[in-house]
Structure 1
């Protein structure tokens, strides 16, 4: 059974939005399974991942604020978590001076457990301003997509030379 073009495109966007695959799984799937050109694979996968990353950041930020307003117990837990995390890790870089770059690099590395979802969670925990977090998520995902495209094309060339 052949999958039509629109469903293939939608599946790449959804795969890009999922927390495990993100662009690391969506781009190779689009290129190798669906035979999309690299530019199309990039646009679809990155779009899905950016939408997911920004959505996770917004939902977690406002959900944590909502829960803190409703419960004193939650306020204590969230306050401890946020302050403890900030104390332990902001000593490594001055508050907000390098936080954009740290989050950008974390998201841009296409490795397991890094990406827009993890970056959005980290941005909420560190209390990053929304504009800084959004810029880091968008630019990090964009660079991760470029890296995955390059690695996919390099792998494609390597396989073509060594298998045929």
Structure 2
């Protein structure tokens, strides 16, 4: 059982799978109790938020000191910030729904990166990212339970 919990937590913290993969895996494959699965998955899915929000500024500072990467990094950063500018009007509520709707390439990793790019602090982003995790957890767990009953 501990191995199944650890595997579920790992899947929840990975960039591609996140909750969308961890909850079905924990419930349908590992046959773990659903309350345990959603608790472990939700908690493990919050880990990337702290990784991105704490490491991105350090990474940017390192790149800025490196003359070889600095020019191309600044172009990428400027281009990315221009692309997300139209979405800034949605602010932190947009982050909540972006993280909360379980679609490909939406989730904590991308949402946290968007928070950082928009200049939101960890403190002001945490509630909205956590709310998105809760929303995604409810959606995926419900779909998994209903789908598991059909199978």
Could you tell me whether the CA contact under 8 Å between 1:85 and 1:126 is conserved in 2?
no
Cα deviation for residue 39 of structure 1 reads: 1.0
Equivalent residue number for residue 14 of structure 1: 10
Equivalent residue number for residue 115 of structure 2: 123
Cα deviation for residue 42 of structure 1 reads: 0.2
TM-score, normalised by the number of residues in structure 1: 0.79
1:23-42 deviations in Å (ceiling 9; x for gaps): 10100011011111211110
Rg larger in 1 or in 2? 1
Is structure 2 residue 116 aligned with structure 1 residue 133? no
Equivalent residue number for residue 162 of structure 1: none
Distance 1:77 1:6 in 2: 45
3-state SS of 1:90 partner: helix
- Gaps spanning 5+ residues in structure 2: where? none
Q: Which of 91, 102, 106 lines up with 2:98 in the alignment? A: 106
RMSD: 2.1
Is structure 2 residue 18 aligned with structure 1 residue 26? no
TM-score, normalised by the number of residues in structure 2: 0.85
Distance 1:19 1:92 in 2: 22
Cα deviation for residue 62 of structure 1 reads: 2.1
Cα deviation for residue 77 of structure 1 reads: 4.3
Cα deviation for residue 89 of structure 1 reads: 3.6
